[in-house]
């Protein structure tokens, strides 16, 4: 077997080093629209919900939709929070369709650490845009995922599309 090539992804170390630490308050609770773009990656925040770009994406445009209130379980959401969360999730899909033209989506919630939740204390929904052929040989053979656009550039484009949309 030939030697594997090394592809450095230093931004992943912050995730690895902090994955076991309990954040107080969690990063979703600390989000502030006034923060610099590179810090927050926030697309939208209102009274009950927030939408942001995932700092450790599976694909370009990987978004997180979450309640503003720190709540871990779906059953702990108020009816208003649940409705607003669903509405923002639908708007986020429309936003990605307009801004990035994906051919499909994966939407999911990881409830609890054993289910893969990296932040088990604050409920959040993953919205991952997908394109035909977006899973190539790199993750399979190279154990590496290639993201072709910077987070700041993706976030800027999504924010612009959000702000320009009159349908919200």
pLDDT of residue 91: 97
pTM above 0.85, yes or no: no
CA distances from 19 to 22, 33, 77, 119, 147 (A): 8, 24, 25, 9, 21
For residues 69 and 48, the answer to whether their CB atoms sit within 8 Å is yes
At residue 104, the pLDDT reads 95
Pairing of strands 125-130, 49-53: unpaired
Partnered with residue 65 across adjacent β-strands are 51, 125
Q: Mean pLDDT of successive 10-residue segments in the chain (168 residues)?
A: 62 62 75 81 94 90 96 96 97 96 94 84 94 63 63 89 80
What pLDDT, on a 0 to 100 scale, did the predictor assign at position 76?
Answer: 95
44 is in an annotated binding site: no
Q: Which of 44, 62, 122, 124 is catalytic?
A: 124
Annotated binding-site residue? 54: yes
Delineate the domains of the chain, giving CATH numbers in brackets.
23-159 (3.30.428.10)
**Would you state the structure tokens that stand for residue 55, as one six-digit string?**
């700092």
Residue 146: the pLDDT is: 63
Task: Read off the DSSP letter of residue 29.
Answer: T
Residue 44 is among the residues annotated as catalytic for this protein: no
């Amino acid at each position: 077997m030939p030697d594997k090539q090394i592809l450095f992804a230093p931004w992943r170390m912050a995730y690895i080093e902090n994955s076991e630490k309990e954040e107080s308050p969690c990063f979703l609770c600390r989000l502030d629209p006034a923060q610099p773009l590179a810090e927050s990656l926030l697309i939208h925040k209102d009274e009950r919900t927030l939408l942001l770009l995932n700092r450790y994406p599976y694909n370009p445009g990987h978004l997180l939709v979450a309640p503003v209130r720190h709540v871990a379980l779906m059953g702990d959401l108020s009816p208003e929070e649940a409705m607003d969360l669903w509405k923002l999730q639908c708007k986020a899909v429309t936003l990605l369709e307009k801004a990035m033209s994906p051919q499909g989506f994966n939407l999911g919630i990881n409830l609890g650490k054993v289910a893969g939740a990296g932040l088990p204390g604050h409920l959040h929904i993953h919205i991952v845009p997908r394109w035909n052929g977006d899973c190539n040989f790199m993750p399979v053979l190279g154990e590496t995922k290639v993201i072709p656009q910077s987070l700041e550039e993706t976030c800027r484009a999504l924010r612009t599309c959000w702000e320009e949309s009159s349908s919200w």
